[in-house]
Amino acid sequence: MKQAWLIDLGVRDYPEAWELQLDLVARRARDEIPDVLFLLEHPHVYTVGRKSRDQRREIRVGSESVPCHAIERGGDITYHGPGQLVGYPISKLPEHERDLHGYLRNIEEVLIRTCADFGIPVERRPGLTGVWTSEKISRKIASIGVAVKHWVTYHGFALNVSTDLRFFHAINPCGFDASVMTSMERYSGKPISLTHVKNQIAEHFSSVFHITLEDTPGMLFSNGQAANVTKFV
């Protein structure tokens, strides 16, 4: 089984987390480190993928001005914010497994199993990347958008746990009407611990991707920044 690091970044501004990803992508491409999974939350932010034509630098939501960043991942515009668990896997695809579609399906499987742990039935939808609730009016509970550089993946997934869904209404998230978005708490009608969700994501990520963890150094980033390094449960 491959070795990997799980890094809990807590709450990080988007540009900082983006910089950390790029740092580790370069180091992973040079085989200086194993695969990595970042888990974190962002303050309110919009990100714009390669498919979007939205060129706004900020978006007004009520009295709040929310920054908007154009990035390298696939997909359209989406929202990140408090109560949303974001995962950024930095994973080097081996030469015999360079199947990006298979990689995306595995990310979906991690999210499907995690939602099931909380009694939330979800599913894939043909032709669409992401995870949707299994009900008559299906709603999107998790989004996925990745980029690949030197066959190393970055960016990743966003699972709405207790997300303030109003922020989706300022955009057409991933090209859909904002009403399509939901969260784990919205579906279940009860509070859900983000820490508990992190633990389940880590457990299923380990199982689906067949990875184990190794000890990690205290200083992880080229710019001298450190992070909390947590083992999978």
Active site residues: 174
Report how far apart, in Å, the C-alpha atoms of 205 and of each of 25, 128, 225 are: 19, 21, 25
List the structure tokens of 203. Answer: 């457990």
Strand partners, 186: none
Beta 35-41 vs 2-11: how paired, if at all?
parallel
How many Å apart are CA 142 and CA 59, to the nearest integer? 22
Sign of CA dihedral 106, 109, 111, 113: negative
How many Å apart are CA 29 and CA 15, to the nearest integer? 21
